[in-house]
Each structure stands twice: as structure tokens, then as C-alpha cells.
Structure 1
Amino acid sequence: MEASREVASKYSTKIENLPECILIHILSFLTTLEAVRTTMVCRAWRNLWYQVPSFSFDIIPFHSPSNPYTITLKKFIQCVNRVISIRPFTHVQKFHLRIDCNNDRLISNVNNWVLHAINSKVIELDLDFDTWDLNFILTEENCRIYREVDEFKEFPFNFFHLKDSSVKVLKLRRSSIICPPYVGSSDFQSVQSLFFDDLNFEDREVNDVIKFCVNLEYLTIHYCIIPECLEIYSSKLKKCELESLDASEVVISAPRLHSVSILEVRAKVCFLEQSPNLVVAKVGYDGITLENYSYWCHFMSSLATTKYLTVPNMYLGQEEFLKEMEITEEFMSRPVILHIPRLRKVKMMNYRGIKGEIYVVELIKRHQSVLEEVVAFPPETAPFPLWMTTSNSSW
């Protein structure tokens, strides 16, 4: 027992002797409540949490099977208000909030916290309203309460709050967006990165948001339903990630685009225009039919400038399914053309060495380009990926 105390004292002393900037950096990986609790570690840590450049509040640790859901919300609101009153937002660069926001009282509090953060010149705003967690619904009462409050609308984030703000990064999960009817081109110059996950868009809201952010460089949209065509027109966009979307069409026009990822996008048409600087592309089709096959071929041809192309081969090995489709003889007799002159690296996911996959490899091998490497990843059951590395001289 005495030996373990000596070891603990030894390591504790080492931590205390670290430079203050390193200690603050370590605390920045904790939630704010956890950072506050570290004041009990030693006297030197008592005021360190005041200097952490971020606020992070998570309701999950507040959930308890013994507490009704309403009590949990009340305690969480009191905790956040208490911390903010003790330590102002001065020098806070990031505000992260994870909470179930589905009643009017809570929406009012969240709005106040968000406005307070924006007015205090935070740089990153990370709002996560997807907190489904089984730890707090173990009782029948909590199940009943949650079913009732879950009928309330999702948190409506007013995009106009970012007008003339310092926010560079906006992350929203399971929310909705309220767009201003009209804004000037210089109103949202600070926003450089947008991350949307499981959002409900109406009409052209997402298109307007992208258009408002004239300095947008990074765009990520996951698990969203877009009623109309998704139009991404951005003169400064460098990286775009679209995954699990429902949209009638997708149009991307970004002359500075360096990286694009389009996975499981259920759209009849997808266009990539004016992207001469595109280097990295990851494409996974979903819902390809004979009607939109030509559009997807056109889209693939727009990737001719890429150096790194990743295509999940999810449709290979479905010969029996394809036989049932009404494919004309003329269509089947068309030659397969693979011409991407700047292609340097190919990744084949879920590679099993079946006939169709081997044929694709043969097409690549006949490709007269600067291809340097082919990487084939077997199914998850395989312990290691299969690497096929080569250069033009070995074709």
C-alpha cells in the first residue's frame, strides 16, 4: 500500500512540474465539468481550467436511471449557467454543446448560450443535439417522459446569428436551420468550415447557406434530406464531403476544389464542374439505374484530373441481379473506357479476387497513365489488406 502511494506521488509530482501551457493543453481534451474537477488534484491546478480555450458541455454524464429526465435537464442547465457565470467567455475559442434539445425551455437556454458564445468572439461552434443514450431510459417513467418531449421540434439554429461574427467553424448535428431572407455578400465572411449531420432542410436553405459563406473552404454534409437540387457554388471551396444524402440533383462548381468525397448519395444526376485542381476523389454510387447511368459516366469523366481515386466496388459480383435487368445488346457491347491521365493511386475496397474485380485490374494495367500504386483491401474478415504496388515500367 505504501509503495503504491509512493508511485502515485512520484507521477503526480511529474505532472505538476509540467509547463502550464502543456497542462492547459491536456485539460482542453476534457469536458468543462471534468476540467473543473481537476482542481482537486493539487493546488497548482486550482485555476488552470479558467485558461482552457474552450467550453465543452455534455449532458450524457448527467443521465442516471435513478433520476427522471426532467431532473437531469434541470441539473444540466444549472451547471452550464453556473460555469458561465463564474468564468466568462473571454479567450474562449471553441464552444461545444451536446444535449437533447427538445423542449421549449431548453431551446431558450441553448439560444442564450449560443448567442453569448458568438458575441464573445468564439471561433468554433459545435452543437450536437443527437444524444440518444440508453443509460437514462432504464425506467418506465423516463421512457414515458422522453417519448413526450421527443415530439417537440428540433433545435432551430438561426444562421443570421453568425452575421459579422468571428465564427470560422460551424458544426451542427440533428438540428434545423433558419435562413435570413436576404443578406449581403460580406455578412458571413468569417465562416470557413461547415459540418452538417442529420439536419432537416427545407426548400433551398442549404444552398443559401453555402452561397452566403463566400470564404467557405471545407464543407461536410452527412445524413441529410435535401428537397431540391443541392447546388454547391463556391470560389474558395477546397474540400467537400457528401455522404448518405437524398437529393434530386447534386451540382458542384468549385475551381479550387482539391478533395471530393461522394458516398451513398441518392441523386439521379451528379455534376462536377470547373474543378481543374481536383487531386483526391472518393466515390460510392447508390441507386444507379439505366436511366441515370450516362449521367454517372459523365460525372466520372469529370474526375480526369484526379491523382487519387477511391471507388468502393460494391456492385461487383452481382451478375445474377444484372441478368434480370432489361439491358439491350447494344448497351452490353459498348467498350469499357478507362482514361484518367493523371491517376496515380487506386484503392479497391472489399477485394475478393472475383472475375469482375480482376477485369477492373486488367483495365487499369492497360491504362496508359502515370499510375504508381494499386491498393486492394479484402473483406473485414481478412487480417491484412492486399497491397499491389507497381510502376509504369512493370505493366
Structure 2
Amino acid sequence: MAGLSRVHHVVENNQLQVAGLAIEDAIKIAGGTPCYIYDGQQVVNNIKNLKRRLPSKVKLHYAIKANPFPSLITRMATVIDGFDVASHQEMLLALASGLKSHAVSIAGPGKSDTDLSAAICAGVTINVESKFELTRLHALSETLKKRAKVALRINPAFELKQSGMKMSGGAKQFGIDEEQVLGVLDYINSDYIDFKGFHIFSGSQNLSEAAIIECHNQTFELISRLLNDTPFKASHINIGGGFGVAYFEHESPLNLEPIIDNLQVLLTTYAAVLKGVDIHLELGRYLVADAGIYLTRVVDKKVSRGTTFLVVDGGMHHHLANSGNLGQVIRKNYPVCVANRYQHNNQEQVDIVGPLCTPLDIVAAKVHLPTCQPDDIIAVMQSGAYGASASPQSFLSQPTLREVLL
């Protein structure tokens, strides 16, 4: 199958299994295709397995933006240490999960007064992105007669090298430049602000253990300087995430062992300055990507000038990242298979495309799969993160997508 050697999967009676069910049974539960199926137990196992390996001082948080499906968030709340959110709606999801408000934080530039007031009243920690945002929080806290729980988000001078998305170093809309932090700390009025710590998120989707270790080393050195210089007692430091997922051919899964070993060394090295301070590790796709599968049914098969096309009932409007995000320079395939005939002696090279009137609607290009016919099921693996919620579902007014947690 196309790239599936990298993906955890179970096959029985020549059908892909999802959450312990045959693929057609899962589709019937969902109500048809196209659909996302999330394996709730796989997510729980991912969280538990990682928490067992992390030092006890490190608390594991989930960045809800990776997948905000409400049933999934509720399931995760039973095992995760905290949620990190990027909007008012995500904050409401986190609070509705049953997790206590002190385990929730909100980040992002451009928070509205509504966002900030809601966070203050709920007791959620606000990761402040600028001095002006802090000024607004002083005023809102005075009006509401409630202290705002605040951590300062830092834009360090360094970056997380080899990241799919870099969020620190240089000029950024995220956080307060590290050289400006002390001046902002001096501005805090404790009558209105309950200082909680710092947030340093340098990048995401990184598959280099060496790059993550280097970033952690720089992060802890910066944390040490900040904690020594701040007049306030910190209760936690969010060191971000960055742990990547291997989606494409020739990518190797991230080796966590040296990263975790290095975290333990850093915690020992900086034990004195970190006394009474928890470390938050904020991960998103790393916890959920392998627990999601996107299923779409073949509705047509045609040959055009030597190329065989499978036309399916789903596509880029449901899974934008898989399609190439509206036109990557070099598009790569997520791992795909024919879910209802996983193995077959006859193979063919096909392009799998969706129903939209755009050549960008690509599910997979030039993949070798068992010979397909209309009504077969195509499965796109590693689809538990940045899928439905990160896609233009209303584009061309196609039928509604289904999502199910099993």
C-alpha cells in the first residue's frame, strides 16, 4: 500500500480495521462517506504512553487547534494534564470537557475584549502577546473586579530549526521579544494581574531530534535568566511542542528517547531555579494524527490519455492538508490504501481526485494500489490532525462531512 509501512494499522479478512471495526461497519456507524473516524482508545494510549516516559515534573498539554472535535476533547480530558487553546470557542470546548480552568490556557495575537473577559472570568491563564494586550488586561480586570491569570509569551532570539512552521526568532506576531520582557514585567500590577509564568513556543512539525534538543537547551537557558530576573514567582513554564509526525515517504518517525533523556538532564541542571515550577509540554498532532482516518468512496473510474483516475466523493474541501494546501510547489501523498480490499494481486497506478471543479482537488497522485472499481473505499491514514476543522468545508457547497469518535 502507498506508504503504509509507516502507519499503525490492523487488517482482517482483507479489510482495514479502525477502532476494532471492519471499515464498512465503521462507515455505517458514521452514516456514510465521506467521513473521519477517530479511534478514541488510540488517542488515550498515545497520551498515557508518553506521560509514562516523561519526567514527572513535565505536564502534558494538548493544543486543541490540532483537532477540536468535541467528543475527542471530552475523551482526552480523562487523561491529559491540560488544554491549550487559541480562541474563545476552543476555550469553551476545553471548559466543557470537565477539565478544571486552571489547566487551560489561551494564546494567540489579536484577542478581543470578549476573549479576554471570558478567560478572566473563567480563571483561564492568558498567554499575553504584547504590552498593549497586558494594558487591556489591567483595565478589564479592574472593571470585572477579578485578577487575570497571566503568563507572558516570549519570542526568543532563537528558532526551532528544521520546523515545518517556525514561530520564534526574528520579527514575529507571536509573543514579546525576549529583550523587551523585563520592561513588560515591570509594568505588571499585581492588584489586577496574577502572574503564572512564561510561554515559549518556537515551532511545530519537527522530525529532528537534534533540533528539538538544541531548542530545549536554549529554552531552559532563557527560562533560567527570566526566572532569576523576574520579581514574581512563576508556577509554570510552557516550553511549547514541535514534535512532528512522519506523513510522507522517506520520512522517519521522531525518536523521543534522546529528547526525553535531555529533558531530564535539563531539569536536573536547572533544579534550583525551577523549584516549585511545573513544565508544560504542549503537543498537538503528535497525540492525535495516527488515531484518525479519512474515508471516501470511489464514484467513478476513467482513463484520460493514459492516466487512470479514481473519482471519489471527498477531497480537498474535507482534507486540505492532504490535497496540498491549495497548491504546494511539491505535493506529497499522505499514506493511502483501498480499505475494503487491502491486498490484491492486480495493482495499478492511479490518481485519486475529488468531486470539486478544480485541478487542486487531489487525494493522492501516481499511487500504486489494488485495482479499484466504483464503490470501493479509499482510506487516507494519519488524518487525525488538521483535517476537518482546517479545511474549507463549504467550498462549492458539497454535502456535509461526517466525523465520529469510536
TM-score (norm 1): 0.28
Q: Which has the larger radius of gyration?
A: 1
TM-score (norm 2): 0.28
